[in-house]
A = this chain, B = another copy of it.
């Protein structure tokens, strides 16, 4: 495909994406396919001859679209959002066009320097400690693939700074911690993972954490890391990171904060009470690719001190040597992550932050919080509905008063509507419905439509 053809097909595809943005609200959120339906439309063997791009674009409608779950529908209330936005999509396009590798400063200086500055901007935007800024130190932040990767990496750092054999190490998180805590610890080789008990709000109980640590120490094990969640996946619970931090310090644990989803809410100063104590944590991760309008993948990981991360990862091959790195005057981002290669993800994040501005981010996230608050009130006032857990940020957790079967039926009815999609899950062994508000284009109109369906089926 030469540049002239790229121009022609690129314009056609931009129109396709713009059309998709215009019509996604009217598409059924989930596709009507059975396992194997999409695969059956694909040849078993790769094509021998080149195919015209027109045929490929046609198959975007004929093969791909029938199998798409529309995460970008404004009726997306399932899981958490995985938002795109115009500037985010275009930033990804520019990054793809430039095709640079950001493994070293020298392999594309703009890739590193823009990333470091934009990640420092997020420290301001989220009200995080100044010492998280690379320009201030001794900490720093970088873009990673996902919160799972960041959480795993922090377990590796905690293992590396401990002198004990991995099979004696213990990792802690609440029973409501994201599965990446368990997986991160497992992949990092930890011998033990403790799912610490939670209180009535599903937040980690510091007393239970302290007791678990003491029991493990008495058993000859080595507590190494605790992950606090600011906004659990299940119900949005907020672990008390101040109290957990004090315990972590007393026992020498690494304290990692997983604010993958709710970190975005911190653009609103009044929400920062939920991360009180963040000044003393060792690491903090959140996903602009969830609720901050920046296409996946774009996770940010900060460490309060960059030395232990460097020590856990660093080594240098001859082919990587270059004057800039050896001068010590630059940051090489391959020393901040497990993989070597990295694409120019800061571009889309920079474009989103500039396109929205801090004011725009506060407005949009604030609107989602307001809509969640209104929905929560409607649930409170409805005679057949209950809160399965307190509303947290923009996540409303509801169930039917008649029990699990009625709740499951209600969830199925909502999802059968086509216009709205929620996640049916369980908490404390009871069914509930998660309504996560936060897709880029969700407005009052879409929450009203969801509510009408809830009312009709409750």
Contact = CB atoms under 8 A, between A and B. Distances in A.
Interface stretch (A44-52, A208-216, A221-229): A44-52
Nearest to A123: B46
A149 B106 CA distance: 22
A216 to B, nearest CB: 18
Given A67-B110, A156-B187, A121 B339 contact: no
Interface in A395-421: none
Nearest to A87: B1
Interface stretch (A18-26, A198-206, A367-375, A443-451): A18-26
A93 B18 CA distance: 12
B319 A425 contact: yes
Select the residue from A35, A117, A426 with max chain B CB neighbours within 10 A: A35
Contacts of A142: none
A33 interface: yes
A71 B101 contact: yes
B51 A355 contact: yes
Interface string A296-324: 11000000000000001101111111001
A47 B9 contact: no
A101 B341 contact: no
Chief secondary structure at chain A's binding surface: helix
A340 interface: yes
A246 interface: no
A319 B79 contact: yes
A196 to B, nearest CB: 16
Contact of A50 (B105, B146, B339, B355): B355
Nearest to A149: B339
| A interface bracket (residues with beta carbon within 8 Å of B) | 35 or more
Given A14-B11, A338-B183, A296 B46 contact: no
Given A18-B4, A113-B36, A187-B338, A11 B11 contact: yes
A249 interface: no
A38 B297 contact: no
A342 to B, nearest CB: 8
A39 B320 CA distance: 23
Interface stretch (A56-64, A237-245, A269-277, A377-385): A56-64
Interface in A323-352: 324, 327, 329-330, 338-341, 343, 347, 351
A355 B52 CA distance: 7
B48 A319 contact: no
A17 to B, nearest CB: 4
Interface string A164-207: 01110000000000111011001111000000000000000000
A67 B341 CA distance: 18
